[in-house]
Amino acid sequence: MDEAASDNPLDDYAIFAGGCFWCVEADFEKMEGVDAVVSGYSGGTSEDPTYKTYEQGGHREVAKIYYDPSAITYRTLADRFFRTVDPTDDGGQFCDRGFGYTTAIYVTDDEQRAAAEAAKMEAEDALDREIVTPILDARDFYEAEEYHQDYYKKSSVRYNLYRRGCGRDARLRSLWGDEAWIK
């Protein structure tokens, strides 16, 4: 993680909950225009959640995506997000089940909300199915423990076994076809 990028208050950011934050981080860090991605927890009411307690406080696993708006738009990020998850599943994502693994988009302002709503409508039309991913006001973001940051790089063999074993990419291909974004 590039600490300078994540500490810059001028950076724009998106917060997406897409199941396992390792996978969301891996997918978005590979996008041109994305400066850094930080795994964390958001959406709940408890303060300072940890990996062991985040669901008890009503949080989801999320990724905070810092991006350069001169290189990529929030709408592009939102469109891409929908093609990296199963937005029709309200019970979690892939093999990870439970509220903490459900999808959500946390928006910081009306502009993000409009872009997210448009991306959601387009995804619903593309799938011809109801999208259950809620679009919610952003709440406090809590950075996950260091061992979760860049897990896909630090433990690439384990990460790839997990991702394959969880069926994430296979489900994305069956749901989205050529529109699935798998990197």
pLDDT score of 99: 97
Task: Report the pLDDT value the prediction gives residue 10, as an integer from 0 to 100.
Answer: 47
* Residue 52 exposed, middle or buried by CB count within 10 Å (0-12, 13-18, 19+): exposed
Splitting the chain (183 residues) into consecutive groups of 10 residues, what average pLDDT does each group show?
A: 44 95 94 95 96 95 96 97 98 96 98 98 97 97 95 94 94 94 79
- Measured CA to CA in angstroms, residue 30 lies from 46, 76, 182 at distances of 31, 14, 10
Beta-carbon count within 10 A of 109 CB: 10
In order, the DSSP letters of 135-167 are EEE---EEEPPGGGTTHHHHTHHHHHHHHHHHT
Q: Residue 3: its pLDDT value, please?
A: 41
Domain 3-177 CATH superfamily: Peptide methionine sulphoxide reductase MsrA (3.30.1060.10)
Alpha helices in 44-167 (DSSP H): 74-82, 110-127, 151-154, 156-166
pLDDT value, residue 12: 95
Q: What is the pLDDT of residue 156?
A: 93
Which residue numbers are catalytic? 20
